[in-house]
Amino acid sequence: MTLFENVRVLSFNPPSVSPATDVAVEDGKIAAIGQALAERYPQAEKVAGGGRFLSPGLVCSHTHLYSALARGMIVDIKPSKDFAQQLRNLWWRLDRAIDLPILESSALAGCADAVMSGVTSLVDHHASPEAIDGSLSVIRKAYEEIGLRGLLCYETTDRNGDEGSRAGVRENVRFAKETAADRAAGKAVLTEACIGGHAPFTLGDGDLAALADAVKTTGRGFHIHVAEDKYDAVDSRHRHGLDPIARLDKFGLLRPLSIIGHGVWLTESEVALMNERDAFLAHNARSNMNNAVGYNGLLTKHRNVVLGTDGMGADMLEEFKFAVFRHRESQGPWWPGEFLACMDRGNRLLERYFSIGAKSAEKPVFGKVETGAAADLVLWDYETPTPLVADNVAGHLAFGLSARSVNSVMVAGRFAVRDRSPCFDAERIGAKAREQAQRLWTRMGDRA
């Protein structure tokens, strides 16, 4: 049990800043909030807050841990004229070059980066076509070693033949069952399962039917990229005679647990259909800029926007700034406050997944510093030159607060970062990752 003494609670939904108080954590949850809690919890390990801010942890709602070792890669990559070529020349060579030791290092390095940035939950979308079986359990182990929460899935695709596609579905189902069995046995799991697909343009109708069946049998949701580039939307209308979102809906893949990545080229009727089905749109502003796929002009029409990094690290405060400033550049109507609501909405996604199969009294609460909520928390060393109050929380995130202010990070009541030091063996993880990165780049060279 842990007691944060003399902290100011910084809330994101709705934004607020509390007077100095104490926050007690027990059994992975917030047990009490109030003055002088040391009398009530004399046994608790005390953390001197010194008036620092304590907030809910940040959620990255779409990422690819498999790209953690792509940073600064030295590989001969042909120039690409468009996004489809970029996938072939770069990303599909990268994912094919991943084996399980590379994946393990990649996941550990990515998870470590995330917690050091104040991120407590990562929604991962994984691909390693030459090492599919068991891959999600390797990633899960990395989450557990670092102490990070999240959702995992495998990106099923037909681009490596029918057996590749079947193996993708199989891995998703296997992992969902593993998760369900552990939860049924009363284990406190940090990761939940989605059923994953790469994108409509690499999934035939047979694949979508198999994925829909997996969604149904496991009771989990679907996580896929849709219309990241215009090509995906054009292909769907050309080959299947349907808008990509309408095509997914035809297979029953659009539900309240569905996560649609990007959606840059969706049309108004597709956004309306997503809203009707209560599905989530994962917006990845920085990745869209990097891949030059265009800006999502209908972003503000979506009901459930969440924010992700799409594999470009996991620093959500940095991503938040990109989302805000790219939107400002497009002269969109949203202010930082709307983007703060989007970033916070990743917690609704977690709540929907972690309450699968739970009795209503046990339904988890994320993203709140309140009694009974999950103890996924960040303590910030934020010396602000201007007052920080309820009305300007989003402004401080856009123009001030950054990962350099992270002092301590707790997930499910356990510290992952304490007094600016990782609670895991960061040196070993880093050294191993650099070794595996070199192997990955060499293997990419062999797969030109």
What Cα–Cα distance (Å) separates residue 225 from each residue in 210, 213, 288? 17, 19, 12
Q: What minimum distance in Å lies between the beta carbon of 425 and Zn ion?
A: 29
Q: What minimum distance in Å lies between the beta carbon of 228 and Zn ion?
A: 7
Six token digits for residue 385: 């030159």
Closest to Zn ion by CB, 308 vs 395, is 308
Q: What minimum distance in Å lies between the beta carbon of 155 and Zn ion?
A: 8
Closest to Zn ion by CB, 310 vs 315, is 310
Stretch that binds Zn ion, among 27-35, 243-251, 296-304, 305-313 (CB under 5 A): 305-313
Secondary structure class of 45 (helix, strand, coil) = strand
Q: Which residue is nearest to Zn ion (CB)?
A: 310
156 membership: H or E segment, kind and range: none
Residues in 203-262 that interact with Zn ion by CB under 5 A? 261
Closest to Zn ion by CB, 283 vs 348, is 283
Residues in 66-85 that interact with Zn ion by CB under 5 A? none
Closest to Zn ion by CB, 310 vs 344, is 310
How many residues sit close enough to Zn ion to count as binding (CB under 5 A)? 2
Question: Do the beta carbons of residue 23 and residue 5 sit within 8 Å?
Answer: no
Stretch that binds Zn ion, among 232-240, 250-258, 304-312, 410-418 (CB under 5 A): 304-312
Stretch that binds Zn ion, among 29-37, 168-176, 310-318, 326-334 (CB under 5 A): 310-318
- Cα 78 from Cα 407, distance rounded (Å): 42
Q: What minimum distance in Å lies between the beta carbon of 91 and Zn ion?
A: 9
Q: What minimum distance in Å lies between the beta carbon of 182 and Zn ion?
A: 27
- Cα 170 from Cα 174, distance rounded (Å): 6
Closest to Zn ion by CB, 15 vs 221, is 221
Closest to Zn ion by CB, 70 vs 369, is 70
Stretch that binds Zn ion, among 167-175, 235-243, 307-315, 394-402 (CB under 5 A): 307-315
Residue located via tokens 């209908």? 298
Closest to Zn ion by CB, 30 vs 87, is 87
Question: Do the beta carbons of residue 65 and residue 106 sit within 8 Å?
Answer: yes
Q: What minimum distance in Å lies between the beta carbon of 307 and Zn ion?
A: 12
The DSSP bridge partners found for residue 8 are 20, 53
Stretch that binds Zn ion, among 181-189, 214-222, 302-310, 337-345 (CB under 5 A): 302-310
Residues in 376-435 that interact with Zn ion by CB under 5 A? none
Q: 124-163 mask for Zn ion (x: CB under 5 A)?
A: ----------------------------------------
DSSP assignment string, 336-405? HHHHHHHHHHHHHHHHHHHTTT--GGG----S--STTSB--EEEE----SS---GGGHHHHHHHT--GGG
Residues in 259-288 that interact with Zn ion by CB under 5 A? 261
Secondary structure class of 415 (helix, strand, coil) = strand
Does position 310 interact with Zn ion (CB under 5 A)? The reply is yes
Six token digits for residue 121: 């939950």
Closest to Zn ion by CB, 208 vs 264, is 264
- Cα 121 from Cα 114, distance rounded (Å): 8
Closest to Zn ion by CB, 192 vs 229, is 229
359: which residues sit within 8 A by CB, 6+ positions away? Answer: none
Length of the chain: 448
Closest CA to 105 of 68, 150, 137: 68
Closest CA to 48 of 376, 370, 419: 419
Q: What minimum distance in Å lies between the beta carbon of 67 and Zn ion?
A: 9
Positions touching Zn ion (CB under 5 A) are 261, 310
